[in-house]
Amino acid sequence: MEIRRPKISILGAGMTGSTTAHWCAAKELGDVVLFDIVEGMPQGKALDLFEAGPIEGFDVAVRGTNDLRDTAGSDLVIITAGMPRKPGMSRADLLSANYRIVKDLVLQSLEVSPDAFFIVLTNPVDVLTYVVKKVSGLPRHRVMGQAGVLDSTRYRTFLAEAIGVSVKDVHAMVLGGHGDAMVPLVPYANVNGIPITHFLSKERIDAIVERTRKGGGEIVNLLKTGSAYYAPGAALAEMAEAILKDRKRVLAVTTYLEGEYGLRDLCVGVPVVLGGGGIERVIELELSEEDRRALQVSVDEVRAQIAELPETL
């Protein structure tokens, strides 16, 4: 009996898309299709990755294409295509350029993969996840954005470095929009259950919170051209694994809210249970007054960007 492997289509074969393909193949999450409009580029990157299989020991197919029809029957579609963020460019500046790219890709993908889950990476991710939710008409459990997983791993990295412990033992989460007003939660951050306030002063924690908020910009400024791709790709692969292997992971995911946290009709990062049913449950945390106010500031930024969309959804 032939056993069908899951099919993962990654739309956009730039640095983030190709790195996501790498992580997904290495984890053997399923067969990977790498799509891009640039002729030869996704084919070359996919072939290069496929040829690493005998060394790394992953038995999955990796294929590149310029034809979206080759993504037909996908279980999961990951959208990384779009204009990258450049130094001095705000996430809001990206909106006009990336709106139509993402809208066209999701509508075309739905025609050939009507049962797929969609993960959006393209920035500004909160607004574009909202766009995908609205134009697709899909239930919210099948549409999500990757931001909180990335922001949380940056937060955890900085905390582990400052405390001097393994990153495996640091648990922390970031809520809100994927921008400078994101909310790295301090009360829930811990080292195997020990609050981070046991290890770090308020001043040191505040500095780490601020660095987390500016984490993407820090890398953009260092690279000069382009933006981060290793950690974003790993974060996408973690979300893909949670869905395709029904891990029931508790992760901060950009989610369409339907009253949770007192919010409706927008997408921001909140903790969810991510498994074989996609977003299976939204977890409402009890927030301090300070964190609640900070979340509202972040939400207001996202709503302002939604208001700038070229079309009413």
C-alpha 48/C-alpha 145 separation (Å) is 28
Measured distance between the N- and C-terminal CA atoms of the chain, rounded to whole angstroms:
45
Is 178 an active-site residue?
yes
Which alpha helices (DSSP H) does 70-124 contain, by range? 94-112
What is the CB neighbour count within 10 angstroms for residue 259?
Answer: 10
| Local structure of residue 176 (DSSP, 8 states) | B
The dihedral through the CA atoms of 248, 12, 254, 86 has a sign that is positive
Q: Within the chain, what is the greatest distance between any pair of CA atoms?
A: 61
| Local structure of residue 262 (DSSP, 8 states) | G
3-class SS of residue 297: helix
* Cis previous bond, 124, omega within 30: yes
CA dihedral 23, 246, 277, 119 (to 10 degrees): -10
How does strand 194-195 pair with strand 190-191?
antiparallel
C-alpha 272/C-alpha 253 separation (Å) is 7
- Give the residues across from 118 on adjacent strands: 77, 143
Enter the tokens of residue 176: 């809100």
**Residue from 22, 141, 171, 178 carrying the catalytic annotation:** 178
C-alpha 25/C-alpha 36 separation (Å) is 18
**Contact in structure between 68 and 276 (CB atoms under 8 Å):** no
Enumerate the active-site residues: 178
